[in-house]
């Protein structure tokens, strides 16, 4: 098994409750991770992930299935409530309080990416359970016994049931912390597949994270490339792919991914992604930069004259006469 690969969906959840679970992939169980981590959150209908915050990480979520309501409370007393559906992104800034509740009839499944290899949680139930009753009473101008009755413990509720949902407003569907990425037009589409990008120029709230929604058609390939300013973390939603990665020192690794797997590709390391089999492959491709840059092999070979390439590969310069000289990266190639 490649140390760049992790079978997320086949891993036992670290957090398991009657109404849901969370699988965490971080530095402790995938040592190669740097500056990134992934959690797979599952919530049953009429359940919620309690209000919580991450002291050391921004969060970028991609909804795989189900329907959810999220409320974010940010510095400056900013309230943002949004509807999460398949193919939508939700961004939560570091330290902002937020909750997720399943308001649909099917299980909710979200891939949550963090820009820290060991993201931390603090939960609202623990916050109330840990603070002195008198301090809380003074805050809300209540008697001390009010909070003594609802004190639980420092152990969080984490995931629990929820009997009623608030009335939903259509206005909540537009939000600076949300992007319906799968409803947008691809920046690139050809026989090999398509890519829909979320960068800070398209989603202004992003900080430290970005995502590409990528489909590779049968025989399609994400051309060999690297990212000068970002690590890459892939979650394979459907289909099957093969990845080959070249690391410094001539270390070569090739591995296959099936649905529910994730892979981590360090910043600046050359890699490709190619489909396996007869079905398209869908990937959520996360980056730990809000404006990830690309260097593709198509543009790289087009940047140098044939004479230089001939010396490098020990062939006549005429060998490259029929090779197209692309002046920019193709990104997606191939396709049947």
The structural domains of the chain, ordered by start, are 5-179 (2.60.120.10), 183-334 (2.60.120.10)
Cα dist. 243→47, 213, 222, 231, 253 in Å?
37, 17, 10, 15, 8
Predicted confidence band of residue 176 (pLDDT cuts 50, 70, 90): confident
- Token pair, residue 141, equals 């101008």
The reported pLDDT for the residue numbered 167 is: 63
Place of tokens 């016994």: 145
Which parts of 87-195 fold into alpha helices (H)? 124-130, 133-140, 144-150
* pLDDT exceeds cutoff 60 at 198: yes
Tell me the per-residue pLDDT of 247-304, one tens digit each, with 9 for 90 and over. 999 999 999 999 999 999 999 999 999 999 899 999 999 999 999 999 999 999 999 9
Q: How far apart are CA 141 and CA 159, in angstroms?
A: 30
Predicted confidence band of residue 168 (pLDDT cuts 50, 70, 90): low
Query: ∠323-325-329 over CA atoms, to 5°?
Result: 115
Q: How far apart are CA 115 and CA 137, in angstroms?
A: 36
**pTM score, two decimals?**
0.95
C-beta atoms surrounding 261 within 10 Å: 19
- Helix, strand, coil proportions of the chain in percent (round to 5)? 15, 40, 45
């Amino acid at each position: 098994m490649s140390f760049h690969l992790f079978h997320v969906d086949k891993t036992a959840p670290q957090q398991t409750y009657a109404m849901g679970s969370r699988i965490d992939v971080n530095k402790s169980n995938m040592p190669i991770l740097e500056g990134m981590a992934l959690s797979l959150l599952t919530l049953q209908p009429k359940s919620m992930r309690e209000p919580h915050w991450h002291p050391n990480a921004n969060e970028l979520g991609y909804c795989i299935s189900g329907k959810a309501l999220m409320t974010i409370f940010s510095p400056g007393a900013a309230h943002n409530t949004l509807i999460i559906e398949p193919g939508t992104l939700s961004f939560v800034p570091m330290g902002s309080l937020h909750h997720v509740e399943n308001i649909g009839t099917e299980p909710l499944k979200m891939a949550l990416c963090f820009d820290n290899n060991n993201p931390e949680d603090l939960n609202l139930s623990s916050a109330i359970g840990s603070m002195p009753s008198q301090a809380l009473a003074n805050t809300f101008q209540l008697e001390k016994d009010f909070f003594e009755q609802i004190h639980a413990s420092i152990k969080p509720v984490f995931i629990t049931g929820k009997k009623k949902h608030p009335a939903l407003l259509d206005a909540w569907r537009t939000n600076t912390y949300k992007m319906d990425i799968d409803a947008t037009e691809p920046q690139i589409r050809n026989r090999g597949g398509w890519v829909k990008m979320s960068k800070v120029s398209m989603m202004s709230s992003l900080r430290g994270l970005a995502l590409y929604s990528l489909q590779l058609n049968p025989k399609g390939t994400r051309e060999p490339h690297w990212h000068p300013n970002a690590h890459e973390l892939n979650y394979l939603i459907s289909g099957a792919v093969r990845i080959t990665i070249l690391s410094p020192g001539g270390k070569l690794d090739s591995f296959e991914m099936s649905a529910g797997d994730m892979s981590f590709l360090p910043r600046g390391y050359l890699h490709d992604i190619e489909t396996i089999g007869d079905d398209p492959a869908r990937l959520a491709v996360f980056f730990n930069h809000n404006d990830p840059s690309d260097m593709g092999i198509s543009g790289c070979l087009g940047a140098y004259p044939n004479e230089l390439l001939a010396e490098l590969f020990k062939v006549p310069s005429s060998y490259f006469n029929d090779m197209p000289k692309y002046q920019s990266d193709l990104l997606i190639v191939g396709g049947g």
